[in-house]
Amino acid sequence: MKFPFFISYTLLFAVRAFAQAPQLGTNIENEFTVTTVPDKWKNESAVIIGQKTEYLFTRLSSGRNYSTVVRIREYIHKRIKLQDKNALEKFSAFNYVTMGKDGSAEYKIIKPGGKEEAVDMKTAVEDEKEIDPIYKPIFFSLNIKSQKIAIPNLEVGDIIDYTLKSTIDWDMKLEGIGFKPFIFTLTNSYPTLYQQYRFTMVNGMKVQYRNYNGAPNLRFDPKASVYGDKESFLSYYFLDRDREKTTDVRWNYELRTAPSVKFRVILLADNDPSSKGLGEATVDRAGLNPDDVYKRYVGAAGYVTPTVTSLVAYTTQYISKKKEEGSLKTDDDLIRESYYCLRKVFLEMYYKGPVHSDLEKYMTGKKLYKKILAEEKKNGPDKEEREDEIRIGGVTFATALRMCLSSQNIPAELQVYVPRSLGSWRDAIFMDELDFVVKVKSKRKYYFLEPFNNFDAFGTPYQYLEGAEGYSIGYDQANRYYRATIPATTLNDNLQKQDYSISFNDGMDIVKAERISSYLGDEKASLIGNANLDRSYLNYDFAKYYVEPSSDKGKKKKGNDEPVIATSDATKYDDPDKEEHIKARRDIFEKSLKEELDVDKYEDFELLKDGRYGDTALLQYKEKFTLKKLMSKAGKNYIFEVGKLIGDQIKLGQSELAGRQVEIWIPHARTIENNVSVRIPQGYTVEGLQDLNMNIDNESGSFISSAKVVPRDSVGDNDKLLISAKKIYKKNWQKKEGQ
């Protein structure tokens, strides 16, 4: 195809010396004029007739030379036919985002007879809610407020047609020369007749592209490209037609199963010979080069800063003291306590050391620090940071932990990986897809350690690390790296357990309940922050990992030698808002329980284990409450709906059992256990126990439940009904043909 390109270039060069950048949205394809849909989609709620997304990458000039800014223009056109009342409700509001000062939106309704009604976009208002996926652009950026406008007078048979225009200025000094990657699937929640994605870039750029799971190939468009002697604009696109809607498949990672694409535009260096060519730009379909990955990430655990030095000095002193006392005997002890002591020092820096912004400056570097200050100013001083968002920087953590362990002759490596949801290592083409953890080997096992927040425990598993592929980088010699996979967790590593103690009031119409909830591994991730809102753990941390400073350490020094950590009252933390935090915690758990059960009165919450220490790090708390509507009278008998305490069980439909089209991706192996102890009132017996005994077991999982009555064992006690139910997921992945 290069020969036609050369001819086209010659003809255009004769007409003009300078190429003019193409205008987006000037060409409307015939596919957008369609008003009917195929018979197979007549019963669908809505059908996407056409959608087109275009991007234009240009260099901004400053005098005779280019500036460091690349301007990215975005154009989105979408046309959707509404076919039932559900669609009228769904599209009764249009929420959208536009970026840049010249961002704009246009919206019209095409009636069945062909009449067009324009919507006045001036009445749109800002909307803080997350934008609906049907409207979200693939270049969507965070922290950009969306707009919302009501769409009146919609009728079945209407076609809605809207366009969005945005401008993003990308400063290469701040953001680098590799623009934001596009990673998305081609599936929509509605069937799609036609969709096109196109991007045009000035010469001196190249594109990385790869398609997956049947997505179309990238094509060069010579007709849409423009050539000149100073610069050219090369246009690429891919088309997709007749795409069925996506269905909400249980246990699925879409990027691993649905048609999807990844592409990214890269600005070539001025001294790169490819940047001078005005013909077809380079399309790079290669994967990641291990040498490049090593060069990019090897410094992540070797970046020594004053903050790292402070972290390492304190932790090393603490570990040496504990070794002398004889409390640290194995390398597992040394690794674990180094991790927890680093966490203590980091939290002390945050809560008792420099103010928040100063700490962020030390932890994240100047570039991100500027962004943080800008966001704080934009969002106002009242924005409160969540406890579980206070996390040490990855580079700071990796360097500090590696240096601490090195002083104990324990080597640590850097494990670079592709998150499980994005695919295998061979699927990755961007450095942006990668992340890293610290990999440490004791004599007993490997530990994979993430940069911690307030609540991460030593060796906490994360579902995105399950079987994640990548490379391990060693620091005992230069250029040492090798392929490695992070192992999956087991059914014993992730636990959700609830133990109920049940009794009844004299009127048999109120159930008195006490519940102890226990969580291990990734199962506690969504709960541990709220459970520890009272911040009592800080006092424990500060006292347990306290090291008495030597006589000159508390004194101020000049320049960069000034201590980061204040030593006054170092073992205590006084939270001025403690009572407010305790109340907030109670309200959170009360609200959560009321979403599960018909609660009459929520009486108490007590944190038993905070889930932050040791190898198992169990999170455990106790709640007291009363319930209604679990007891109902039937003549002289009472029916107790004990199944509601065990919770709903997943019910797989026939299509899931027999017609599954994709592999099964479960977050992790896990165990869910429920135990109920019911104090049987005097004079009553229990019937229907046989319905509660069940035992199903196969290679994928098991469900075991049992029920029995235990006679009273002391004077004044009652007989007890003991019910146990255990559900086990044995694997985190299985073929679709599996059990």
Q: What is the mean pLDDT of residues 485-500?
A: 95
The two three-digit tokens of residue 106, written as one number? 């246009």
Whether the predicted pLDDT of 118 surpasses 50: yes
Q: What is the mean pLDDT of residues 370-399?
A: 66
Q: Determine the pLDDT at residue 66.
A: 74
Q: Determine the pLDDT at residue 614.
A: 78
Whether the predicted pLDDT of 508 surpasses 70: yes
CB-facing half-sphere around the CA of 630: CA atoms within 13 A: 25
Q: One-letter amino acid identity for 375?
A: E
Q: Determine the pLDDT at residue 515.
A: 97
d(CA 554, CA 330): 32
Q: Determine the pLDDT at residue 269.
A: 63
Whether the predicted pLDDT of 731 surpasses 60: yes
Q: What is the mean pLDDT of residues 216-240?
A: 89
Q: Determine the pLDDT at residue 484.
A: 97
Q: What digits encode the pLDDT tens for the residues 121-138?
A: 999 998 877 788 888 887
Q: What digits encode the pLDDT tens for the residues 165-214?
A: 999 888 877 766 667 888 999 999 999 999 999 989 888 887 888 999 99
d(CA 229, CA 12): 10
Lowest model confidence (mean pLDDT) among 29-43, 109-123, 232-246, 339-353: 339-353
Q: How confident is the model at residue 550 (pLDDT cuts 50, 70, 90)?
A: low
* Residue extent(s) of CATH 2.60.40.3140 domains in the chain: 2-286
d(CA 130, CA 96): 10
Q: One-letter amino acid identity for 674?
A: N
Question: Which of 473, 470, 438 minimizes the C-alpha distance to 452?
Answer: 438
d(CA 94, CA 122): 13
d(CA 186, CA 126): 28
Average pLDDT, the chain: 84
Q: Determine the pLDDT at residue 628.
A: 82
d(CA 341, CA 347): 10
Q: How confident is the model at residue 711 (pLDDT cuts 50, 70, 90)?
A: confident
Q: Determine the pLDDT at residue 301.
A: 95
Q: Determine the pLDDT at residue 372.
A: 45
DSSP string across 483-502 = EEEPPPP-TTTSEEEEEEEE
280 compared with 519, residue with greater pLDDT? 519
Q: Is 418 helix (H, G, I), strand (E, B) or coil?
A: coil
Q: Determine the pLDDT at residue 250.
A: 81
Partners of 108 in beta bridges = 118, 161
Interaxial angle between packed helices 394-406 and 306-325, expressed in degrees from 0 to 180 and rounded to the nearest 10: 40
Sign (positive/negative) of CA torsion 106, 109, 114, 117?
negative
Q: How confident is the model at residue 272 (pLDDT cuts 50, 70, 90)?
A: low
Share of the chain above pLDDT 90, in %: 55
- Contact status, residue 666 vs residue 701, Cβ threshold 8 Å: no
d(CA 517, CA 498): 5
Highest mean pLDDT among 36-45, 225-234, 569-578: 36-45
- Contact status, residue 200 vs residue 233, Cβ threshold 8 Å: yes
Question: Which of 294, 245, 654 minimizes the C-alpha distance to 471?
Answer: 294
- Contact status, residue 476 vs residue 364, Cβ threshold 8 Å: no
d(CA 275, CA 137): 29
Residue 692 main-chain phi, psi, to 5 deg: -100, 0
Q: What digits encode the pLDDT tens for the residues 1-30?
A: 333 333 233 333 333 345 688 888 888 899
Lowest model confidence (mean pLDDT) among 110-119, 454-463, 571-580, 707-716: 707-716
Whether the predicted pLDDT of 48 surpasses 60: yes
Q: How confident is the model at residue 555 (pLDDT cuts 50, 70, 90)?
A: very low
Lowest model confidence (mean pLDDT) among 95-104, 114-123, 722-731: 95-104
- Entry field: residues in the chain: 739
- Contact status, residue 81 vs residue 37, Cβ threshold 8 Å: yes
Whether the predicted pLDDT of 274 surpasses 80: no
Whether the predicted pLDDT of 361 surpasses 90: no
**What letter does residue 353 receive in the DSSP assignment?**
S
Whether the predicted pLDDT of 322 surpasses 70: yes
Sign (positive/negative) of CA torsion 316, 317, 318, 324?
positive
Q: What is the pTM of this model?
A: 0.83
* Residue 323 host element (H or E): helix 306-325
Q: What digits encode the pLDDT tens for the residues 659-708?
A: 677 888 999 999 999 999 999 988 888 888 887 888 999 988 999 999 99
**Domain 2-286 is found in CATH 2.60.40.3140:** yes
Lowest model confidence (mean pLDDT) among 146-155, 453-462, 613-622, 659-668: 659-668
The two three-digit tokens of residue 517, written as one number? 């909830």
- Contact status, residue 438 vs residue 339, Cβ threshold 8 Å: no
Judged on CB neighbours under 10 Å (0-12, 13-18, 19+), 490 is middle
Lowest model confidence (mean pLDDT) among 106-110, 328-332, 348-352, 467-471: 348-352
Q: What is the mean pLDDT of residues 135-158?
A: 82
The two three-digit tokens of residue 207, written as one number? 């594109």
Q: Determine the pLDDT at residue 624.
A: 97
- Contact status, residue 317 vs residue 324, Cβ threshold 8 Å: no
Q: Where are the beta strands (DSSP E) in 133-190?
A: 146-150, 159-171, 182-185
Contacts with 40 (C-beta within 8 Å, 6 or more apart), sequence order: none
CA of 209: how far to CAs of 58, 243, 266, 277, 421, in Å? 19, 21, 11, 20, 19
Q: Determine the pLDDT at residue 280.
A: 52
Q: Determine the pLDDT at residue 424.
A: 93
What is the maximum span of the chain, computed from C-alpha positions, in angstroms? 107
Q: What is the mean pLDDT of residues 242-264?
A: 88
Whether the predicted pLDDT of 558 surpasses 60: no
* Residue 415 host element (H or E): strand 412-417
DSSP string across 556-619 = --SGGGS-SS--TTTT----TTHHHHHHHHHHHHHHHHHHHS-EEEEEEEEEEEES-STTT--E
Judged on CB neighbours under 10 Å (0-12, 13-18, 19+), 381 is exposed
Question: Which of 387, 403, 404, 395 minimizes the C-alpha distance to 453?
Answer: 387
The two three-digit tokens of residue 627, written as one number? 């319930």
d(CA 505, CA 709): 20
Contacts with 58 (C-beta within 8 Å, 6 or more apart), sequence order: 21, 70, 71, 73, 202, 233
d(CA 16, CA 230): 11
